[in-house]
Structure 1
Amino acid sequence: MTLDKQAPSKRRLGFAIIAMTGISLALASCETVSQTVQYKENNLAAAGFVVRPANTPARVAMLKRLPPNRFLMRSRGNTVSYVYADPVNCNCLYVGTQDAYNNYRQAQAQERIANRQLLAARTYADARWDWSGWGPDFPQFYGPFGPSYGW
C-alpha cells in the first residue's frame, strides 16, 4: 500500500525533472542561435560587407524574394557583388564586393584550421588517462602508443 501512495508522487517528480530539463535545453539553444547569428553578422561586417536595412515596404518585399541566409552573386557589367539576405534576425541585406566575400571565406577557413588545431592539441592533454581500462576491443585502434604497447 505504501508503494501505491508513493508511485504518483515519484512520477510527478520524474515528469517535473524531465520538463525542467527540456525547458532549460530549449532556453540554452535559443541563446546559442542568437550568439551564432550575432557572430555571423560580426564576421560579415568585419569582412567588409555593408548592412542595408529593409526599412521601406519595397525593400521588405524584395528581401522576402531572396533565399534567406545564403550568398548570392550579382554581376553588373564588370562589377561582381555578393548579397546575403537575413530577413529573420536583422531584416536586412548584407552587400559586399568580391574582396569582401574573399575576406569572409578566408576568415572562415582560418577559423576552421584554428579549431582543428585546438582539437588536436586537446586530444591527449590528460597525462593521467589510462587507456588500458578501455581494453583492446576497438577495431584498428591501439591507443596512443601503437599496437605493441600493453594490450
Structure 2
Amino acid sequence: MKLVVMLSGMFRTGFTALAVASVLGACATPQQMIQAREDRLAAAGFEVHPADNMHRKAMLRSLPPHRFVVRDVHGSYVYLYSDPLVCGCLYVGTQKAYNTYRQEMFQQNLADEQQMTAQMYDNPAWSFGGWGGPWGPGFGPGFGGPGF
C-alpha cells in the first residue's frame, strides 16, 4: 500500500482561503476553525473513528495532524484526516466524500470571496478625489509620474 500526503490547499483557492482565514482568524480560535472543518468532513460523508485504544492512538500520531493523507487500498483511494488535538479521532472518507468536501469548500470560499468583494464596495461616500486621477497615483501610465 502506498501512502501519499496531499497538499492541504489548491493553488487557485489558496489565496482566497488565506484571506478568509485571516479575517475569520480574528474571531475564531484554532480549535473552532478545526471543528468547523471537521463538521464539513462529517457532512460530506467522512466517518469518524475515535482513537480509543493504544494502537489507534499510535497510528493517529503517525499521521500528519489536520492534513489529508491518501491511502491506496485495493485500487481505491481512501482519504484520511487526522485530528489528535480536538477530537482525538480519524476521519475516513471515500473518493466521493472527498470530492463532496472539496466542492463544499470551493462553494464556501466563493461565497466568502463574494461577500468580501461586496463589503469592499459598500461605502458610496468614498472617492478617489484625494488620490489624484480617476484611480489614484500608481495606476496610470508611468505609474503616477508626469503625464498622469
- Taking structure 1 as the reference length, the TM-score comes to 0.68
State percent identity of aligned pairs.
Answer: 44
1:71 equivalent in structure 2: 68
Q: Which has the higher contact order (CA 8 A, sep 6+)?
A: 2
Cα drift, residue 132 of structure 1 = 1.4
Alignment: residue pair count: 115
1:140 equivalent in structure 2: 139
Cα drift, residue 60 of structure 1 = 0.5
Cα drift, residue 122 of structure 1 = 2.0
1:82 partner SS: strand
The amino acid that maps onto 2:119 is R
2:116 equivalent in structure 1: 119
2:92 equivalent in structure 1: 95
The unaligned stretches of length 5 or more in structure 1 are 1-27, 142-150
Tell me how large the CA RMSD over aligned residues is.
2.2
What is the CA–CA distance in structure 2 between the aligned matches of 1:127 and 1:68, rounded to whole Å? 45
The amino acid that maps onto 1:70 is R
- Taking structure 2 as the reference length, the TM-score comes to 0.69
Cα drift, residue 30 of structure 1 = 9.0
What is the CA–CA distance in structure 2 between the aligned matches of 1:29 and 1:106, rounded to whole Å? 25
1:60 equivalent in structure 2: 57
2:106 equivalent in structure 1: 109
Cα drift, residue 51 of structure 1 = 0.6
The unaligned stretches of length 5 or more in structure 2 are 1-24, 141-147
1:51 partner SS: strand
Cα drift, residue 113 of structure 1 = 1.2
Q: Which has the higher helix share?
A: 1
Deviations 1:98-151 (A, max 9, x none): 00000011111111111121122222211111321344553016xxxxxxxxx9
